[in-house]
Amino acid sequence: MNYSTADSLSKVTLDDVRGAQKMLAGVARTTAMEGSRYLSQLVGAPVHLKCENLQRTGSFKLRGAYVRIAGLLPEERAAGVVAASAGNHAQGVALASSLLGVRSTVFMPTGAPLPKVAATREYGAEVRLHGQVVDETLAAAQEYAAETGAVFIHPFDHPDIIAGQGTVGLEILEQCPEVRTIVVGIGGGGLAAGIAVAVKALRPDVRIVGVQAAGAAAYPPSLAAGRPLSIDNPATMADGIKVGRPGDVPFRIVAELVDEVRTVSESHLSSALLLCLERAKLVVEPAGASPVAALLSEPGAFEGPVVALLSGGNVDPLLMQRILRHGMAASGRYLAVTLRLTDRPGALATLLGVLSVADANVLDVSHVRTDPRLGLTEVEVELHLETKGPEHCAELGRALREAGYRVID
């Protein structure tokens, strides 16, 4: 698809999305749609999970990248392509380029998780590590494009990218024709814009809800101002939607067609990731879990049937470990408690006996004896406990206080 005027750059149509769907036949998988009994009970209506975390490369990004690169002119293909990404877009561009026989260079931050760097190389891209943050990496990629003539493949701000991502919307309507609400995470806006173009053209009655992490929510102020605005220092565990400014092209579509943009907390994000793993047996990255986080934060706000889009599953194992612990704490399944004991033989065993009676599983114990805040005969003990929910956490607190222990908040 070629766009020659500035005006046409702001337009993506249903025909564009259908053309992208034909182009992606045999390339992108039609990913599964799984029902969630737990979320359905919570929301009070059927909830289905659209599993783009099971897409090739582990996210929806292959769709847009392939359509964008396939649409290049022969001389553009000969010059190669370049992209900047910390993960999912990098892998999408690398695989799409390999499938199309186009040379690709991908710039990634120096701190990018090693599994994502390795996967990008294995898909066929030359990886260059540059910069500490994505903005620095992006600048390096654009400089490379200017110097070499390689075509810069933007992660979301191009009609071809949006049309490719919009094929997810066509699949949702085919797999769940009775859908009333689609919930989708938003970073730069390419995925939400593409889905909105496809779905609203065929089913204008379907409500589309975008979700951003509260610490990286550029869309609410931008929509209020009527133009894309930048936010300083976006911060969230959901790196796939940690974007400081909406894309110009998707912003116009989101402003026109997306019904609502909501924000979710870090606690709800980690709880959503834990829920997907435990209840649905699906590995989902924090950005991919953001629609589930929205359902957890206000389940009564969504008319069913609901489709929550799990946009990706590429999460570093070390980050997964930290997020799961955070999610367990947020859901009352993990408790860290600090208290002071008299430093005498048997004191710790007595404390552990209280916890055993209260049916808490002790994961870790640490002692501090040298803090100047402690009395001469005191020791501070920090316990990490596996618990059974908020009520159990409250019961543990009461049991410790009744046993005479001073809990330090």
Which residues are identified as catalytic? 61, 311
d(CA 399, CA 309): 42
The Cα–Cα gap between 20 and 64 comes to: 8
Q: Sort residue 339 into left (φ over 0), alpha (ψ -120 to 50) or beta.
A: beta
User: Amino acid identity, residue 223?
Assistant: L
Question: What sections of 314-386 are H helices per DSSP?
Answer: 317-330, 347-357
The one-character DSSP state at 368 is E
> Phi and psi (nearest 5°) for 193?
-65, -45
Please give the Cα distance from 27 to 175 (Å, whole number). Answer: 19
Pair 120, 155: CB distance under 8 Å: no
> How many alpha carbons fall within 13 Å on the CB side of residue 303?
9
Q: Evaluate whether 108 touches 85 at the Cβ level (below 8 Å).
A: yes
Please tell me the distance from the alpha carbon of residue 172 to that of residue 162, in angstroms, as a whole number.
16
Helix (H, G, I), strand (E, B) or coil at 250: helix
Q: What residue ranges in 190-333 does DSSP mark as E strands?
A: 207-213, 260-264, 306-310
